Chain A
Amino acid sequence: MAALLGILLVLPMALSDRPFELRMMVVIFLYAMLGHGWNILGGYAGQISVGHGLFFGLGAYTSTMLSLKLGLNPWFGMAAGGAAAAAAGVLVGIPCFRLKGHYFVIATLVVAESAFQLFAAWDWVGGAMGLQLPVQEQGLLNLQFHRNKVPYYYIALGMLAAVTALVWWLERSRFGYILRALRDDEEAARSLGFSPALYKLLAMALSAGIVGVGGVFFAQYVLFIDPFSVLALSFSVVIALIPILGGAGTVAGPMLGAIVLVPISEYSRVLFSGTGRNVDLLIYGFLIMLISVYRPDGLAGLFRARRERRAYVSG
């Protein structure tokens, strides 16, 4: 664990003249963080959302609009973007949590798609043309780096480390147990005095907030957002697929999923370029099929199974 972190800390030295790989690492960190966010609601609390792109987009749009219209600092934008996404999560959750199982999944999809259509048609936020962030003096304060992109790497790594620590703590906390209880047997949890609505909303707020902060980072990294890049439905699906492939409801799952899925997506983009749009999703789908047949608990289950077998053999 410490060794891995050590390698990640010095890795940019090897990648400083390899922008493609550096970018890929930043995207892996970002997607792992988004996967963590999704995992709190989908993995631990068992509420499968395929609309989390909405919160990513809201985070990105909030900080970008605050910067464009009010000239506010992106760090403030990050707090505001996370808060806006969390608030939107609660607003979406109040009606959607009345639905269960597949119906909840469909509702999240519909809400996210509606938001995409709304933003694509809404001129004040740039419509389908999107928004360009003004180039400012580079540095940590403005969260913009132009020539050397290595700082983005460390910021993304730092955010991922913080969120991983948060989920690690959550898994061991009383709140985490309550979420899992809700997922495993909602009526039993209710009979023990845990209001399903309340805890689902708390999980949703945290989940959406983390994804929203990720959206702000993305906007600052790319300095351009449009509905297609931050609100597209396929993006919502990717946010869900990462932890599902890696292992929903585990700390390692979103990170394993991102390590496998992001390179597939980046390399397929190189191989197939524009004509190969969504080829990565095709491969993802195939991987999900393999995983659900051979290892329904995700890649994290692969490691767990081996460890258990070893324990069995040695015992």
Chain B
Amino acid sequence: MLDVRQVSAGYDGLQILWEVAIHVDAGEIVALMGPNGSGKSTLMNSVSGLIRIWSGEILFEGRRIDALPPHAMIGMGVAHVLERHRLFPDMTVLENLMLGCGPHARKQSIAQGLEQAYALFPLLKERRTQIAGSLSGGEQQMCAIARGLMSSPRLLLIDEPFIGLSPHMRSAVAKAIRAINRDGVSVLLIEQNVAEALSLSQRAYILREGRIVLGGRSEDLKVGQTVERIFMAREDVPSGLDIVSS
């Protein structure tokens, strides 16, 4: 579904990503892990068109998308939930959700999107007239995910959905992401917490210093502390483990 091939990218002459390759298949939840500054968000921004890549190519459902701006990506069925939810704090929950429909929304698709969002997060329906800035951290994250779903994407990119949330809220958000996935939406998410990411995803990648150092099925990666060691101690990838495969 999503195929990122040998992508290099960065900001203002500072290269962040070095020939990164990942892929997401239809129906999957894929986690992107790695320490701060490893390039996770840069990779996600490259996919959603927020930044232009320097080289390589990105394909979505077989079509080149790496030169497309974000509004074209929304139309193609890719939505991006930015880090720290980035709601419009002075607008109501409903107004925030309406803005998630993209620039070419029709009345019918807006109503349909709202229905789906409320079914997934009944709490947002109760709070729809409330100012978004007055919601709790977890509620704001849910609202941001719901806003991302308003354009009926087939691939949802979520940047650190669990950051700063209470354990209770974490499990609620994780449950929602699973429910979204069950409805047929593929998910690529960034998460720093290895256990959380591996239990939620089917596959995972680890980025370090702008390069993919490990990738594979999440249940394989769970075995032992390999992932944590690579993550924390900058240890080299052991030869026994598959690099960027499956």
Query: Taking beta carbons and an 8 Å cutoff, which residues of A are in contact with B?
Result: 174, 177-178, 180-181, 184-185, 187-195
7 contacts between A and B (CB under 8 A): A174-B98, A177-B99, A178-B103, A184-B90, A189-B99, A192-B147, A192-B151
B4 an interface residue at 8 Å Cβ cutoff?
Answer: no
From A180, A188, A194, B86 is in contact (CB under 8 Å) with A188
Give complex CA distance A177, B100 in Å.
11
B10 an interface residue at 8 Å Cβ cutoff?
Answer: no
Contact with A along B68-79 (1 / 0, CB 8 A): 011101110000
Interfacial chain A residues near B102, Cβ < 8 Å: 192-193
Interfacial chain A residues near B87, Cβ < 8 Å: 188
Contact with A along B200-232 (1 / 0, CB 8 A): 000000000000000000000000000000000
Q: Report the minimal beta-carbon distance from B85 to chain A, rounded to whole angstroms.
A: 9
Give complex CA distance A178, B80 in Å.
17
**Which 10 A-B pairs give the minimum distances between C-beta atoms?**
A193-B74, A188-B86, A193-B71, A193-B102, A191-B80, A184-B88, A195-B71, A181-B88, A191-B82, A193-B103
Whether the pair B99, A192 counts as a contact (CB closer than 8 A) is: yes
Interfacial chain B residues near A193, Cβ < 8 Å: 70-71, 73-75, 102-103, 151
- A181, A185, A188, A189 pick with most chain B CB within 10 angstroms: A188
Give complex CA distance A195, B70 in Å.
8
Q: Report the minimal beta-carbon distance from B151 to chain A, rounded to whole angstroms.
A: 7
Whether the pair B71, A180 counts as a contact (CB closer than 8 A) is: no
Query: Taking beta carbons and an 8 Å cutoff, which residues of B are in contact with A?
Result: 48, 50, 69-71, 73-75, 80, 82, 86-91, 95, 98-100, 102-103, 147, 151
From A174, A185, A190, B88 is in contact (CB under 8 Å) with A185
Give complex CA distance A184, B89 in Å.
8
Whether the pair A192, B69 counts as a contact (CB closer than 8 A) is: no
Give complex CA distance A186, B119 in Å.
29
Whether the pair A191, B99 counts as a contact (CB closer than 8 A) is: no
Q: Report the minimal beta-carbon distance from A199 to chain B, rounded to whole angstroms.
A: 9
Residue on A with the closest CB to B157?
A: A191
Interfacial chain A residues near B90, Cβ < 8 Å: 180, 184
Give complex CA distance A187, B49 in Å.
12
Give complex CA distance A177, B86 in Å.
15
Whether the pair A190, B99 counts as a contact (CB closer than 8 A) is: no
Give complex CA distance A56, B42 in Å.
44
From A174, A177, A191, A195, B91 is in contact (CB under 8 Å) with A177
Give complex CA distance A195, B104 in Å.
12
- A185, A193, A194 pick with most chain B CB within 10 angstroms: A193
From B48, B80, B86, B151, A185 is in contact (CB under 8 Å) with B86
Whether the pair B69, A195 counts as a contact (CB closer than 8 A) is: yes
Interfacial chain A residues near B69, Cβ < 8 Å: 195
Whether the pair A177, B98 counts as a contact (CB closer than 8 A) is: yes
Interfacial chain A residues near B74, Cβ < 8 Å: 192-193
From B50, B71, B75, B95, A177 is in contact (CB under 8 Å) with B95
Residue on A with the closest CB to B102?
A: A193
Give complex CA distance A187, B147 in Å.
15
Given A177-B99, A188-B82, residue A194 in contact with residue B71 (CB < 8 A): yes
Interfacial chain A residues near B80, Cβ < 8 Å: 191
Give complex CA distance A187, B48 in Å.
12
Q: Report the minimal beta-carbon distance from A255 to chain B, rounded to whole angstroms.
A: 22
Interfacial chain A residues near B75, Cβ < 8 Å: 193
Interfacial chain A residues near B70, Cβ < 8 Å: 190-193, 195
Give complex CA distance A150, B75 in Å.
54
Q: Report the minimal beta-carbon distance from B82 to chain A, rounded to whole angstroms.
A: 5
Whether the pair A194, B103 counts as a contact (CB closer than 8 A) is: yes
Q: Report the minimal beta-carbon distance from B245 to chain A, rounded to whole angstroms.
A: 31
From A174, A180, A185, A190, B50 is in contact (CB under 8 Å) with A190
Residue on A with the closest CB to B105?
A: A174
Interfacial chain B residues near A177, Cβ < 8 Å: 91, 95, 98-99
Interfacial chain A residues near B48, Cβ < 8 Å: 191
